[in-house]
C-alpha cells in the first residue's frame, strides 16, 4: 500500500470524512490505497458478510436436526459471531489496533510523551517506540484483560482498544473461553515466579460493552471474582478528566471524554458519573499504584482519538 496522504488541511486539521469521500481518488489516497483497492475491499467485506450469514443459517438447520437444545445452538452461534467480528471488524477501513479510521489512526501517538502529536511529529515514531513506551502495570497487577463484547469489537468510539497499546501485559478478548485462556496463561506464568509477593498479584478484568451488555458479562463471572467499586476513586481523581481539547466540550454532566461520541447512559440513575472503559481502568490502576503522569498520558491518548473522530465525522459541536 501507498502511504496515506492528503488527510490534513493547510492548518494541520484533519479533513472530514465527507470531504474525503466526495472524491474516490482523494478518499483512496487518505487510506494509502488506489480507488480499485478500495472497491475490492468493500466487495470483499460484503462477500464475507453474505457468506457468513449463509453459514449461520445452514449450521442452525444442521444443529437442529441433531437434537441440540436452543441454548447449546445459541452458544455455538455466539462463538461463531464473535470470531467473525474479530476477523472482519465492523469496517474495512478501520485500524485493527486502535480501532480508529485509518486516515486518523492514533497508534503512533502511543510513543509520544504526552499522548498527543501533530502530523510532522507522528512520522518520526516507529512501532518499536510504541512497544517501549507502554506503561508498566502497578506492582500488584500481573495483567489486564479487556473483555470486549462482540458488538463492541471494532467500534471506532471504543476506548478499551487503546489499553493493550498503552499498557504492558494487557490483552483483549471477546469470548468467555478466550478470557479464561488468557487468565490461565497469566496464572501459569505467576506459578513459575519464585517470589511469594509476585504470586499474590491480581489479574484486572476490564469489561467493554454497552451498559446492558456489560452487566450481563459481569454476571457470567464467578462470584469469587471481586468487583471494584470506583465511584469514590472517580470523584477523588476528577481532575484527570479535564478536557484538554480544542473542540467545544459536550453539554453534559458526564465527566467522560467519550461524552461527545456516546450518550453514556443518559437518563439512567447515576449516569452523570459514568465514564468510559479506558477512564475506569486507568482510575482503577491509579488507585493500585500507576503513576499519575502515566495515567494522564493514557487519558490524553484517548482524548486525541475522540478529537480526531469528532473532526473526521463532523461531530465538532456540543450536543446534549
**Would you state the pLDDT for residue 315?**
75
Alpha helix stretches (DSSP H) within 11-145: 17-21, 24-31, 35-65, 70-88, 119-122, 127-133
Q: State the SS3 of 137-189.
A: CCCCEEEEEEEECCCCCCCCCCCHHHHHHHECCEEEECCHHHHHHHHHHHHHH
Q: What is the pLDDT, as a whole number, of residue 179?
A: 72
Task: Give yes or no for residue 197 having a pLDDT over 60.
Answer: no
pTM: predicted TM-score of the whole model, two decimal places: 0.80
Alpha-carbon torsion 135, 92, 279, 116, what sign?
Answer: positive
Residue 96 has pLDDT above 50, yes or no: yes
Average pLDDT of the chain to the nearest whole number? 79
The span from the CA of 140 to the CA of 155, in Å, is 31
Give the range among 86-95, 245-254, 255-264 with minimum mean pLDDT.
245-254
The pLDDT tens digits for 121-136 are: 444 455 455 556 899 9
User: Taking 80 as the threshold, does the pLDDT of residue 76 lie above it?
Assistant: yes
Amino acid at each position: 500500500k501507498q502511504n496515506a496522504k492528503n488527510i490534513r488541511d493547510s492548518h494541520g486539521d484533519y479533513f472530514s470524512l465527507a470531504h474525503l469521500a466526495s472524491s474516490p481518488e482523494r478518499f483512496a489516497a487518505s487510506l494509502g490505497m488506489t480507488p480499485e483497492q478500495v472497491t475490492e475491499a468493500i466487495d470483499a467485506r460484503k462477500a464475507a458478510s453474505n457468506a457468513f450469514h449463509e453459514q449461520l443459517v445452514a449450521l442452525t438447520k444442521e444443529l437442529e436436526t441433531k437434537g441440540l437444545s436452543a441454548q447449546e445452538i445459541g452458544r455455538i452461534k455466539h462463538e461463531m459471531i464473535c470470531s467473525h467480528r474479530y476477523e472482519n471488524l465492523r469496517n474495512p477501513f478501520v485500524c485493527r489496533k486502535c480501532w480508529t479510521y485509518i486516515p486518523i489512526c492514533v497508534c503512533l501517538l502511543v510513543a509520544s510523551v504526552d499522548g498527543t502529536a501533530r502530523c510532522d511529529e507522528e512520522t518520526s515514531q516507529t512501532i518499536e517506540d510504541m512497544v517501549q513506551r507502554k506503561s508498566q502495570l502497578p506492582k500488584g497487577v500481573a495483567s489486564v484483560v479487556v473483555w470486549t463484547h462482540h458488538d463492541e469489537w471494532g467500534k471506532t468510539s471504543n476506548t478499551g482498544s487503546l489499553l493493550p497499546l498503552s499498557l504492558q501485559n494487557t490483552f483483549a478478548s471477546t469470548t468467555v473461553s478466550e478470557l479464561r485462556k488468557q487468565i490461565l496463561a497469566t496464572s501459569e506464568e505467576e506459578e513459575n515466579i519464585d517470589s511469594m509477593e509476585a504470586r499474590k498479584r491480581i489479574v484486572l478484568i476490564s469489561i467493554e460493552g454497552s451498559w446492558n451488555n456489560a452487566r450481563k458479562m459481569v454476571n457470567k463471572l464467578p462470584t469469587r471474582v471481586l468487583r471494584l467499586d470506583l465511584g469514590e476513586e472517580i470523584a477523588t481523581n476528577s481532575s484527570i478528566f479535564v478536557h484538554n481539547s480544542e473542540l467545544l466540550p459536550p453539554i453534559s454532566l458526564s465527566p467522560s471524554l467519550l461524552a461527545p461520541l456516546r450518550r453514556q447512559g443518559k437518563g439512567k440513575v447515576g449516569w452523570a458519573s459514568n465514564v468510559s472503559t479506558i477512564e475506569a481502568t486507568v482510575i482503577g490502576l491509579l488507585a493500585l499504584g500507576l503513576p499519575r503522569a502515566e495515567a494522564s498520558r493514557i487519558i490524553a491518548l484517548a482524548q486525541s482519538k475522540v478529537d480526531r473522530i469528532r473532526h473526521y465525522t463532523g461531530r465538532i459541536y456540543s450536543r446534549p
